[in-house]
Amino acid sequence: MTDAFQNYSKSGEILAKTFAYIGTSVKPGVPLLEIAEKAEKFILKHSAKPAFPVNISINEVAAHYSPIINDDCEIPEKSIVKIDAGVSVNGFLTDAARTFIFDEKWQHMKDTVRKALDEALKAIKPNESVFRIGEIVQKCIEDEGFKPIVNLSGHSLARYSLHNGISIPNYNVSRKIRDSSHRFKIGKAYAIEPFATTGIGRVTDSSDETIFQQFREVKNDNLSSKINTIYQFIDANFHKLPFSWRWVYNAGFSIEDIEKANKRLHDDHIIHGYPVLVESTKSPVTQEEETVFIGKKQVFILTGKK
């Protein structure tokens, strides 16, 4: 196998082990910060890096909530918890998500989104249209009385790139607007991630941002010394992948300096933030995700149970 596959395979194995490691920690009353940092430290301990800050999305929150500095949120009773995490090995990224439920009434919706993912994974093969996945996901989820979230999708992966140009829909895209070039290609990796909800099946941006990404490089910019030091740290350590200000704080920078840097780097369009995504009718959401690698004769599920 290629070096790329070996790196992807190692990344997926570490991510699968990360979920196994933190799984028993996910329960009501546990701080979100404790879970996220436990997962991220586990990844670092295995000679890899988080591909992005661990997402812990509760109930109607679908994606993009990661604990902030000194976060005091805890997992609520009777909640739905989605944990979405990623691993980078030499820049080769894997991405997976699991749903945890603490009320049996959500078991059916959890099982449904997992079934949709499993059926989608069975359909993947070299040169298959990515739009076939949307057909399968929508049918599986709607047959059970739920809605897929249509404005969230799976995505292609590349080295140091989480969303590398190809979106993999969670609904049946009209054949009139399908792009025939959007196919699963040999030697490439893809994240497949259906979402199910009791709501209308769309997410909207909230006003909160907890995950950030470097948008552009700056040289000899008119930044203060402290802000420039933080910028240089981001530029040197995160490879333009999503990051959390927690990581900057844990490296020894003060909250005051981070707040100033966040405002200035935002204002100058050097970094941007990802809004926390909430189901439009505030309805609960479940999610499952795996990363696959397309081989010549086999599709490898990189992040499944080892």
* pLDDT single digits (tens) 63-72: 999 999 999 9
Considering the candidates 13, 60, 71, 289, report the single residue annotated as catalytic.
289
Torsions phi, psi for 92 (to 5 deg): -90, 120
In this prediction, residue 219 carries a pLDDT of: 80
Sign for the CA dihedral angle at 230, 235, 237, 240 comes to: positive
Considering the candidates 13, 40, 71, 95, report the single residue annotated as catalytic.
95
Known active-site residue 163:
yes
State both tokens at 70.
Answer: 């000194």
Average pLDDT, the chain: 96
Q: Domain ranges for the chain, please list them.
A: 3-205+281-301, 208-275
Query: In the sheet that 61-63 helps form, which strands lie side by side, from edge to edge?
Result: 61-63, 271-279, 203-214
Percent of the chain scoring above 90 in pLDDT:
92
State both tokens at 84.
Answer: 């979405």
In this prediction, residue 1 carries a pLDDT of: 66
**Mean pLDDT lowest among 4-13, 215-224, 225-234, 294-303:** 215-224
Give the mean model confidence (pLDDT) for residues 115-139. Answer: 97
Q: Which residue has the tokens 């292609």?
A: 156
Sign for the CA dihedral angle at 206, 79, 75, 50 comes to: negative
Considering the candidates 155, 209, 288, 290, report the single residue annotated as catalytic.
155
- Is a pLDDT exceeding 60 seen at residue 306? no
Q: CATH for 3-205+281-301, among 3.40.50.720, 3.30.565.10, 3.30.1360.120, 3.90.230.10? A: 3.90.230.10
State both tokens at 169.
Answer: 């829909």
Known active-site residue 71:
no
In this prediction, residue 94 carries a pLDDT of: 98
Considering the candidates 74, 118, 144, 163, report the single residue annotated as catalytic.
163
In this prediction, residue 220 carries a pLDDT of: 65
Residue with more model confidence, 269 or 306: 269
* CATH class for the region spanning 208-275: mainly alpha
Full-model pTM? 0.96
Q: List the one residue out of 62, 59, 53, 52 whose CA is nearest residue 277.
A: 62
- Is a pLDDT exceeding 80 seen at residue 305? no
Torsions phi, psi for 156 (to 5 deg): -75, 155
Torsions phi, psi for 71 (to 5 deg): -60, 130
Known active-site residue 84:
yes
pLDDT tens string 19-52 = 999 999 999 999 999 999 999 999 999 999 999 9
Considering the candidates 40, 71, 84, 290, report the single residue annotated as catalytic.
84
Cβ–Cβ < 8 Å for 284, 59: yes
d(CA 73, CA 293): 36
Known active-site residue 95:
yes
